Amino acid sequence: MISFLFRYFKLLITLPFLFCVANANDKNIIKIGTLLPYSGVYTVLGEEITNAMKLAFEEQEDIFDKKIEVIRGDTEVKPNIALQKARKLISSDKVDILVGPVSSSVALAIRDVVVQTKTPLIIPNAGANVLTREKCSKFITRISFSNHQINAPMGTWMANQGIKTAFLLAPDYAAGKEMMSAFRDNFEAGGGSILGEEYTPFRKTKDFGPYLARIKNSGAEALYVFYAGGEAINFIKQAHSFGLGDIMKITGAGWTTSPLFLPAQKDAALGFIGSLNYVPSIDSVENNNFKKAYIDKYDRVPSEFAVQGYDTGKVIIEAVKSLSGDISNKEKLASAINNISVTGPRGPLTIDKKSNNVIQNIYIFEVVSGDNIPELKILDTIQAVKDPGSGCNL
């Protein structure tokens, strides 16, 4: 009995979900290796992406008689661990496609081994601008976003709304600074002025009181902010208790009030105005069908992370179809991925030939009261937004 349980437990670890059981060399198997966090602070993001990608695969009845096997690699959000997992997935497991990661530092750590081995990599989250600029590759396709792509349109939009002054607040790391820079450039180009900015210790800030006081005293008409995870929840709650929303508009990168965090933030998030590449309130056949399927299967409203995983699955399916199921040539497979256009829950997606970064709609939303928890109401849609792709030479 103990021996049986050990073998069963070992199977669960090595094959978290498997669409088929077959020999590793079976040509009828499409092997997808994930490099995502399945432990640590970003576990929920890894699960959201994987669950939705799995849902996309389950919806596809047949891909030229091929089955899909997904082999998980837990990055633990640690670049050195992720590099080890990437090498194993490529060399030992011989995956056809890699999917990941969440963290930009992890993406940069695995970038060279991906390019050297000519393994197609689809990025379902990591937003560092450089990944589809100076560090771009024909083997790397990003279908999530660049940090510039989400935030730059918001700078223009807010300036067009007549807001003249803003204060910037974000964690002190590369992504936070890239987001603030993108907003600042477009806000100032539209005639706005930045009256101050603060960068808090990354994933270490629990008391935002001193920052809230400085923001209030700045005299700015609006705050533009980005946080994620526990920091996003804490910031929104503390800003609400401080009464900051009574003094100025609270705006920012939409992850700050992601559907993942709204159940904890509750009414404290009301009135926040943000920008994202997906909100659950998009009224389209594709989104309504996806949302229903996701809620039925996982008993929660899908987040932007889930949609990025779902669209990853759809892109993989369409790329394999375009090759009539023959994915033996990695260069042709990478090229096929880069030439796919789909219409998914967030709207139409195409890949920019200049950078291999996704071209997509960006949604400006406001957090409003909902039936049970707050909802994201779309205020405006900025269509077909590109990243500049500067420095990319594919």
What pLDDT band is residue 172 in, cutting at 50, 70 and 90?
very high
> Which residue in the block uniquely carries the two structure tokens 């096929």?
336
- Of 61-70, 106-115, 285-294, the range with the lowest mean pLDDT is 61-70
pTM to 2 decimal places: 0.92
- The fold for domain 2-145+284-351 equals Rossmann fold (3.40.50)
Answer whether CATH 3.40.50.2300 is correct for domain 148-276+362-385. yes
Whole-number pLDDT of residue 347: 98
As a whole number of angstroms, the distance between CA 382 and CA 152 comes to 11
Sequence-distant (6+) residues with CB within 8 A of 129 are: 146, 147, 148, 178, 387
Residue recorded with tokens 């994620």:
228
- Residue 236 predicted with pLDDT over 80: yes
- The band of 15, judged by pLDDT with boundaries at 50, 70 and 90, is very low
CB 62 within 8 Å of CB 68 = no
Residue recorded with tokens 């083997």: 139
| Residue ranges of the chain that CATH labels 3.40.50.2300 | 2-145+284-351, 148-276+362-385
d(CA 193, CA 190): 9
Determine what percent of the chain is predicted with pLDDT higher than 90.
89
Percent of the chain with pLDDT over 70: 93
Mean pLDDT estimate for the chain: 93
How far is residue 58's CA from residue 26's CA, in Å, rounded to a whole number? Answer: 20
- The pair of structure tokens assigned to 379 is 């205020």
